[in-house]
Amino acid sequence: MKKKIVSIVSIAALSLTISTSAFASPGTVERSVNFRSAPSTSSSVYQLIKAGQPVDIVSKVNSYWYKISYNGKTGYVSTDYVRASGGTPSGSTGGSSGAPTNASAKADRIIAHAQALKGVVRYDYGVNKPTSVMDCSAFTKYVFGLEGVSLRWGTRYQKDAGSAVSKSNLQKGDLVFFWTRTSGTINHVGIYIGNGQFIHNSPSFDGVGVSSLTSGYWSNHYISARRVL
């Protein structure tokens, strides 16, 4: 009887493996991504999957998450970091028309996270202690990280993240960079929120606030912008 039970369990496990493989489609990690236990940025991270690694996409959970199989384990990754290369995964609507909408929705959520930190975060240069005390780049790193977008702490790194975008083509969620000490040298960052405004963690507010890009101090100290969504 024990042998029969073991045999049934083994067959069931094998069947599950075959089933997962049969319906999975190949994909490639385009940017290093957290491999998570559930489709949520608050879930635990199994490991970081580096760019260039092949994965098996089991299904597309929604616009933001793929369910994948990697190194014998099943988990979830952001759709923004993985390219499906073997057809449309099960559950996907297909096509690429949803990409801009996805980025726009993510930008809205990031801005909402940033707005929620008004009156919560204090500013202190060179500090990264979410969510009590942070500097400008720790703030952007934190709120983007809530949506699965990985940024390094420090304007010297964030100024090269993603791709360059001109001031005239700014979109919600773009990182905007400024100088405050030496003209032309980036040392401050914020998040563009539309209508010529950006949100940032600044000593002028001793925390999070919204400033103008079209007039005043920050307009005269603007340097560049990067798109990371």
Which of 106, 200, 226, 227 is an active site residue?
200
Bridge partners, residue 82, by sequence: 29
Of the residues 84, 136, 191, 208, only one is catalytic, namely 136
Catalytic residue status for 113: no
Joined tokens for residue 72: 């014998």
Widest pairwise Cα distance in the chain = 82
Sign of CA dihedral 54, 58, 64, 70: negative
- Of these residues, 159, 188, 226, 227, which one is catalytic? 188
221 belongs to the catalytic site: no
| Count of CB atoms situated within 10 Å of the CB of 26 | 14
**149 and 229 in contact (C-beta within 8 Å)?**
yes
Q: Which of 85, 78, 89 is nearest to 49 (CA)?
A: 78
Cβ count near 64 (within 10 Å):
20
Best CA proximity match to 85, nearest among 134, 125, 28: 28
Please confirm, yes or no, whether 200 is among the known catalytic residues: yes
Helices 99-116 and 136-145 cross at an angle (nearest 10°) of 130
Which of the 8 DSSP states describes residue 6? Answer: H
Q: Can the peptide bond before residue 155 be classed as cis, meaning omega within 30 degrees of 0?
A: no
Catalytic positions, written as ranges: 136, 188, 200
